[in-house]
Amino acid sequence: MREAVRELKERVGVRGALVMSSDGMVVAADLCDGLAPDSVAALASAAAGQARRAARDLGLGRTRRIIFTASFGRLVFVPVDELMLVIVTEPSLDLELTLLEIAGPARRIRELSRLNAPV
């Protein structure tokens, strides 16, 4: 799982990535200097939880991805079974290309999470 996170981090414009559990515990992380994994996971857990509840309450169905854009960057949240993949990007990064590039590592993380799931 760490290798998939590292692969995302190596992409141009990606400042970091992490995988966290639904309760905000960091499973794997590779973030640029100045970004603390636990702080990013805490923010991501709270924000994603609120967004999921809002989507459910509005009858929008299951959340496939959540994207927050701010002045100095973007957070992309991708649910991966019981885990959440969080990618921190530069604000100017092409979002459509980023979403395409996330697909491969997200698939590997999903496969690894299923292999490590309790039976």
Q: How far is 39 from 49, CA to CA, in rounded Å?
A: 15
Q: Residue 117 — pLDDT band, cuts 50, 70, 90?
A: low
- Over residues 104-116, the pLDDT tens digits come to 888 888 888 877 6
Report the CATH fold assignment for 2-115: Beta-Lactamase (3.30.450)
Please name which of 78, 87, 67 lies closest in space to residue 17, comparing C-alpha atoms.
87
Cβ atoms of 86 and 17 within 8 Å: the answer is yes
DSSP 65-83: -EEEEETTEEEEEEEETTE
Residue 95: what pLDDT? 82
Read off the amino acid at residue 76: V
On the CB side of 73, CA atoms within 13 Å amount to 14
The helix or strand, by DSSP H or E, that contains position 52, with its residue range, turns out to be helix 37-57
- Over residues 13-50, the pLDDT tens digits come to 889 999 999 888 999 999 988 889 999 999 888 988 89
Spans of all domains in the chain = 2-115
Q: Return the higher-pLDDT residue of 117 and 37.
A: 37
* Neighbouring residues of 90: CB distance < 8 A, sequence distance ≥ 6: 13, 14, 15, 73, 74
Residue 118: what pLDDT? 56
- Over residues 47-71, the pLDDT tens digits come to 888 998 999 999 998 888 899 898 9
